[in-house]
């Protein structure tokens, strides 16, 4: 009896019912329709410029040119439908630090500050224009941006050697750090100026450049900002 019922159900499902009735294309199509009908919350970076021309042109030349308006101002589709409904504008110190607080996992060179010591309690916008952010004054010392290297170097035997002894820094580097990068030593001969036998620098440890690691560059083994101390001090 049960076998008959099972056989009947199977024939009904696979023989009598046409395959088009159970076609997956119906519900897939309706899913896509429902998905497409969802409301768009973020209007997109280009729309804002149709009304806010000034801010747009200003932003397009500054460091924030890749930052979309809605990254800071929030989803603004509702503002297009009803201009009275204003998007948010972060004015305190809470928002900028999402990107600009120091974090060891952030890529090197990304502008970061320590929010605890960086002009406490002052809103960021008092010194920086968010549409064209520039440092309020160009940093004088390399350590303003390269604090980690400066800290390491200050405890090393190279502490008294200035950054510019080994790196030539183009003036443009302070304004546009990534497009104008300082030079780095390229050859063993650069280090040999102090460390070769018979070099003028008296207190620098001397090695024989013809026999010491001749296949390698010095900084393959020694970190120039923190060279290891020799036993004799």
Partner 1 sequence: MIDRRKFLKRAVLFIPAVGLFRRLASDAQAKTPVAGYDPSNHLYGMGIDIDKCIGCGRCVEACKTENNVPKEPFFFRTWVERYTIKKDDSVEVENIDPRLRRGEEKTSEADVLRSFFVPKLCNQCQNPPCVQVCPVGATFSTEDGVVLVDSNRCIGCRYCIQACPYGARYLNPETKTADKCTFCYHRVVKGLLPACVEVCPTQARVFGDLKSMASRLVRFKRMKRITVLKAHLNTEPKVVYGNLDGEVR
Residues binding partner 1 (CB under 8 A): 18, 20-21, 23-42, 44-45, 64, 66-68, 70-71, 74-75, 97-99, 101-107, 110, 114-116
Pick 60 or 197: Cβ nearer partner 1? 60
Minimum CB–partner distance for residue 178 and partner 1 (Å): 12
> If you search the block for the tokens 């400066």, which residue do you land on?
150
Distances (CA, A) of 141 to 3, 149, 193, 212, 231: 88, 12, 25, 35, 32
d(C-alpha 111, C-alpha 171), whole Å: 18
Pick 25 or 232: Cβ nearer partner 1? 25
Please, what is the end-to-end C-alpha distance for the chain in angstroms? 99
Minimum CB–partner distance for residue 160 and partner 1 (Å): 24
> If you search the block for the tokens 């899913």, which residue do you land on?
31
Minimum CB–partner distance for residue 81 and partner 1 (Å): 15
Pick 115 or 205: Cβ nearer partner 1? 115
Minimum CB–partner distance for residue 59 and partner 1 (Å): 12
Alpha carbons within 13 A on the beta-carbon side of 127? 14
Pick 64 or 173: Cβ nearer partner 1? 64
d(C-alpha 95, C-alpha 80), whole Å: 24
């Amino acid at each position: 009896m049960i076998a008959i019922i099972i056989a009947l159900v199977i024939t009904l499902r696979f023989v009598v019912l046409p395959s088009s009735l159970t076609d997956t294309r119906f519900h897939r199509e309706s899913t896509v329709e429902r998905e497409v009908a969802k409301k768009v919350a973020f209007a997109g970076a280009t729309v804002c410029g149709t009304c806010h021309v000034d801010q747009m042109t200003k932003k397009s030349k500054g460091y924030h040119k890749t930052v979309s308006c809605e990254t800071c101002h929030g989803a603004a589709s509702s503002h297009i439908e009803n201009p009275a409904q204003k998007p948010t504008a972060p004015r305190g110190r809470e928002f900028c630090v999402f990107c600009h607080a120091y974090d060891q996992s952030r890529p090197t060179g990304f502008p970061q500050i320590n929010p605890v010591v960086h002009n406490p309690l002052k809103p960021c916008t008092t010194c920086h224009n968010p549409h064209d952010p520039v440092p309020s004054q160009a940093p004088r010392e390399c350590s303003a941006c390269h604090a980690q290297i400066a800290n390491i170097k200050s405890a090393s035997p190279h502490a008294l050697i200035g950054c510019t002894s080994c790196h030539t820094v183009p003036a443009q580097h302070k304004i546009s750090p990534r497009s104008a990068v300082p030079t780095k030593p390229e050859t063993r001969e650069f280090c040999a100026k102090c460390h070769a036998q018979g070099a003028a620098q008296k207190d620098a440890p001397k090695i024989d450049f013809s026999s010491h690691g001749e296949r390698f560059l010095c900084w393959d083994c020694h970190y120039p900002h923190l060279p290891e101390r020799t036993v004799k001090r």
